[in-house]
Amino acid sequence: MAARKKKRSLAQPRRVPGRRPGRANSRGVIVDAARARFARDGYEATTIRGVASDAGVDPSLVMQFFGSKEGLFVSMIEQTTAMSDSVFAVLAGPRSGMGRRLTMAYLKLWEDPVSGDKLRSLFRAAAGSPRASRMFQGSIEKTLMRSDLPAAMRLPFLLAVSHLLGTAIGRYIFELPVLANPSLNELVSLISPAIDGYLGTTSPVPTRRTRSR
Amino acid sequence: MAARKKKRSLAQPRRVPGRRPGRANSRGVIVDAARARFARDGYEATTIRGVASDAGVDPSLVMQFFGSKEGLFVSMIEQTTAMSDSVFAVLAGPRSGMGRRLTMAYLKLWEDPVSGDKLRSLFRAAAGSPRASRMFQGSIEKTLMRSDLPAAMRLPFLLAVSHLLGTAIGRYIFELPVLANPSLNELVSLISPAIDGYLGTTSPVPTRRTRSR
């Protein structure tokens, strides 16, 4: 990602009234515009020019930040998969009730209006085109490698997460009433035994005396 | 679906050498062409004209058969979801080992080169656009309603199927090596206890004396 040299100082961008101020903010505005375009038009039909127009910046600035449409897409994936930290954090906690906490942490990301919108956009774009699927694959692989997950736990963990992904797709992408109508708590209670099964962890016995968050 | 009046008799289409013969065959050729276009370009970017050109027929014939792009997409969904008969058939069988048979029946549809290609194409197109997702939702609802599934079993059954869908997406759409490398049998053995959990059915104890297909 070679940044082109600019005459104007990058540290002191000229403020245009009504325009977005600052480089860091421009970057965020561009990624947000890209996310919306990728979700609506798909990876293949999205253009740098269209994203720049939506973000209110010059296409050359998009190129300067991200290098290419592929670079822009990968940045969007990485910003979104960074949200998975809350899911990995569960794996470092106590084993009792881990299935419930993992299920809750994962589905909460989809349930929240802000992170849920990002996940839906990413998923639609990543699944919609084989090229986008490959970039998504690469990012998941990197995330797995960076995690502390022992090699022997990778398959059980991905079976658990793929279960949660499939349920999230049914509830938040296809919005099937049978999966979309139950409360989040109800769904988590039904799913967590399967997740505990994969993790080899245990569900606390659900009695009135047990803390059941 | 108002079919436009044609001067030439539909019962006796003029055969053009090298062209596909017969109406029934034309219909299939058009659906196949549509599937490829929807998967490659997405629902929004696909046009009747493009599909007709790929199928080697006149756009008016596509309109006459399917009425609209939406009608064409719904026909493609219905042709593909008809493959789920093998999955529903498992529910009518013996309860012992049902999780294993359901998991195998479902994943075999994705594993088979012909039906797998159809499922990948449908899934990419259905997930890639909110409008396409809604049509897919409608078709799944109809399939559920037509099935003999008792109302109380719909949520557990959809949790089981959404698990299998998520795993299929990881293995066949994103091709994550951790999920794509194991053999189908290995995967089915790991997943079926979770599916039995949802169905309230039992896995036969895996001893040498037990029949373990």
Instruction: Convert the pLDDT of each residue in A157-179 to its tens digit.
Output: 999 999 999 999 999 999 999 99
* CB spacing of A173 vs B144 below 8 angstroms: no
Taking contacts as CB-CB distances below 8 angstroms, the residues of chain A near B156 are 190
Q: Domains in chain B, start-ordered, CATH in brackets?
A: 23-69 (1.10.10.60), 80-199 (1.10.357)
What pLDDT does residue B116 have? 94
B112 touches chain A (CB under 8 A): no
What pLDDT does residue A206 have? 55
Instruction: Convert the pLDDT of each residue in B19-53 to its tens digit.
Output: 545 676 889 999 999 999 998 888 888 999 999 99
**Which residues, numbered 170 to 199 in chain B, qualify as contacts with chain A under a Cβ-Cβ cut-off of 8 Å?**
170, 173-179, 182, 190-191, 193-194, 197-198
A38 touches chain B (CB under 8 A): no
Mean pLDDT, residues B109-135 taken together: 92
C-beta of residue A202 within 8 angstroms of C-beta of residue A196: yes
Nearest CA distance, A115 vs chain B (angstrom): 18
Nearest CA distance, A108 vs chain B (angstrom): 17
Instruction: Convert the pLDDT of each residue in A139-152 to its tens digit.
Output: 988 888 888 888 89
State residue A202 phi and psi, 5-degree precision.
Answer: -120, 145
* CB spacing of A167 vs B164 below 8 angstroms: no
Q: Is the pLDDT of residue B6 over 60?
A: no
What pLDDT does residue B104 have? 97
> How would residue A188 be classed by pLDDT, with cut points 50, 70 and 90?
very high
**B38-47, B52-61, B67-76 — which is least confidently predicted?**
B38-47
Cα–Cα separations (whole angstroms), residue B38 to A131, B7, B33 = 15, 31, 9
C-beta of residue A122 within 8 angstroms of C-beta of residue A35: yes
Mean pLDDT, residues B138-160 taken together: 90
What pLDDT does residue B82 have? 85
C-beta of residue A173 within 8 angstroms of C-beta of residue B181: no
Q: Is the pLDDT of residue B3 over 50?
A: no
C-beta of residue B141 within 8 angstroms of C-beta of residue A177: yes
